[in-house]
Structure 1
């Protein structure tokens, strides 16, 4: 029998703070229009890491406490949350899944001098200017999406269509794909998912002769309707549907699409094999989530683990934390986390976490198979 997932505490309704506790804020989307399943995975990982840190003695004998704030995929809400957390005296902030929201949180953290370790957002321009206050675990979009573009080329795709909605994140992804494919003989055709319904999108794919359609749209809709339409159109039997942003990773994708959701390649930030710590964390997360954890759950765990390591080693002063990013060497669930400043990066970056292109196996949609790994 599956265990019932542990629900996060209601934001703003914290338990009484333990005497002398070190508080850390966590930003996660826990209500629509945010991707709630992703938020719960990030939070489950963060909460488990806090338990493990405290069982190992906490921060110099002081317990670590999480203060959770629901961003609901709203940049303004994230900005307000960072300001509130700063006022509550947190030593740092971790989390956030949505890139545009994380960018707003990073800007406020930089302005207020609060260390922010972004767990899961990938937008390259996480900050408008270089900052010492922000670090990131997830790979930059330009790194991961180029790997994805190479997987498309390896599979013989030279004419790629993207179903796209307005978003800084989707626009950035489209540009990255076009810039990487064009010198290699590939083209990218943009299809406006707001103006074209699923049937019209199918007609456009036939008209343009695209061999792959990438979903740069919201989930569950219109992504689910588009997948169903393409899968059921006999003219498009040979067209590959892809989702570089990772939607097929989550259980909700499989529940809504079943076999039609298999064979959709996506970016997954996991190694071929988890570290021994990662294997233990995986087992614990399965209990908390009543199912297989997504890669963002490991990102949530590692974010808290890294910040706790810094707090133990360098103290809880915020400036001391920010000054310590360059000296991080924390064994995590997917490898040892170290930060650097890659060319063009305005933040401290783990360069690079493991990246693989995977898809759900058509023979076993509950399992994943690797398309390309780095």
Structure 2
């Protein structure tokens, strides 16, 4: 599969000549996915698996009024400028809409460019509240806003008796936004948040700072595997911090690479994921097929990919493939997703159309069996 923005588009699947004659030319969707470093490649692989599976299922059920759906995949590599350039390219290739992206800062650049060009962009996974600077009709989002999920996570910390929170963080709009959400939610409830610069502190120095501040929880607002994995190893190996809760609200422990890197040390670290506590028949069926494709259990990101294309197909089938019609249809379309009925609406303080809300869990890997997840809180 070609994922280079400078090369001809990749497709999934390539329609045959007979298909094109029968129903007309394919309906093209652009897909933005981090597939190479410094992007979170594991998340990108899961997102693409969901997008691709849904495209194939749409085509197996007649496509878009007999026309096959074609996925043009572009690798963002977690680069906002590369994502914006990909939107330009995809617009020139005639896509009906753009979908995907995992990294919030990258999705924000893609959303701004899509809105400027008049290209519908359905964001699959990025959660940054301020996905666009101004309200727009051209952008919708499937994942819950960061403030929604991270407030639930803050409530979980308080319920666990964790009031003195330290965050190991790196410079990023996303991490800064998360820190602000936590601080604003915890402060009125007796919680405090101190930020520790993970770029400036070695893992050992960070452990010293945790002891100095009397922290009862450390949240990893950092990249994976670096520096998250070394930080976890250092904290787990420090007897002074034996009672410290390590948390990762951004979801790093969801992926198999986390367990492979840390083994038992990676268990018992609560994180956010966007799944129902008990999947319905559709979720179970799609989960099995995604697992077969990935060779491992699918993360919530894979389900987000499937739900994205499924909703877009419903919009294209009911309102046509004209870009303005697609964007205008979003508040009037409902589609059955793997995690419940998907519908978009305006939400206070969110500038894009939003599904309110995908199910949210606080979960962790069971210390007794790190391959198994425990659900600790739902919302």
- Is 1:360 the counterpart of 2:365? The answer is yes
When normalised by structure 2's length, the TM-score is: 0.96
Distance in 1 (alpha carbons) for counterparts of 2:113 and 2:238: 47
Unaligned runs of 5+ in 1: 1-7
Moved over 2 A (4+): 8-19
- Is 1:222 the counterpart of 2:227? The answer is yes
CA offset at residue 10 of structure 1?
3.8
* 2:302 alignment partner, one of 297, 300, 308: 297
Distance in 2 (alpha carbons) for counterparts of 1:81 and 1:279: 33
Name the residue aligned to 2:150. 145
Distance in 1 (alpha carbons) for counterparts of 2:333 and 2:77: 31
- Is 1:83 the counterpart of 2:88? The answer is yes
Distance in 2 (alpha carbons) for counterparts of 1:288 and 1:177: 36
Query: Whose RCO is larger (CA < 8 A, sep 6+)?
Result: 1
CA offset at residue 272 of structure 1?
1.0
Distance in 1 (alpha carbons) for counterparts of 2:371 and 2:30: 34
Give the 3-state SS of the residue equivalent to 1:324 in structure 2: helix
Distance in 2 (alpha carbons) for counterparts of 1:86 and 1:261: 42
The count of corresponding residues between Structure 1 and Structure 2 is 367
Give the 3-state SS of the residue equivalent to 2:265 in structure 1: helix
CA offset at residue 17 of structure 1?
5.9
Q: Note if contact 1:97-1:119 (Cα within 8 Å) is conserved in structure 2.
A: yes
When normalised by structure 1's length, the TM-score is: 0.97
Q: Note if contact 2:99-2:124 (Cα within 8 Å) is conserved in structure 1.
A: yes
Q: For each residue in 1:31-90, what CA deviation from the matched residue of structure 2 results, as whole angstroms up to 9, or x when unmatched?
A: 000000000100000000001101111000110010000000000000000000000000
Q: Note if contact 1:275-1:332 (Cα within 8 Å) is conserved in structure 2.
A: no
CA offset at residue 9 of structure 1?
4.2
CA offset at residue 324 of structure 1?
0.5
- Is 1:207 the counterpart of 2:212? The answer is yes
CA offset at residue 276 of structure 1?
1.4
* 1:34 alignment partner, one of 31, 39, 46: 39
Name the residue aligned to 1:369. 374
* 1:128 alignment partner, one of 96, 112, 133: 133
* 1:314 alignment partner, one of 306, 315, 319: 319
| RMSD (Å), alpha carbons | 0.9
TM alignment of 1:6-45, pairs within 5 A: 8-11=1-4, 12-13=7-8, 14=10, 19=20, 20-45=25-50
Q: For each residue in 1:238-276, what CA deviation from the matched residue of structure 2 results, as whole angstroms up to 9, or x when unmatched?
A: 000000000000000000000000000000100012221
TM alignment of 1:1-374, pairs within 5 A: 8-11=1-4, 12-13=7-8, 14=10, 19=20, 20-374=25-379
Q: For each residue in 1:127-159, what CA deviation from the matched residue of structure 2 results, as whole angstroms up to 9, or x when unmatched?
A: 000000000000000000000000000000010
Name the residue aligned to 1:4. none
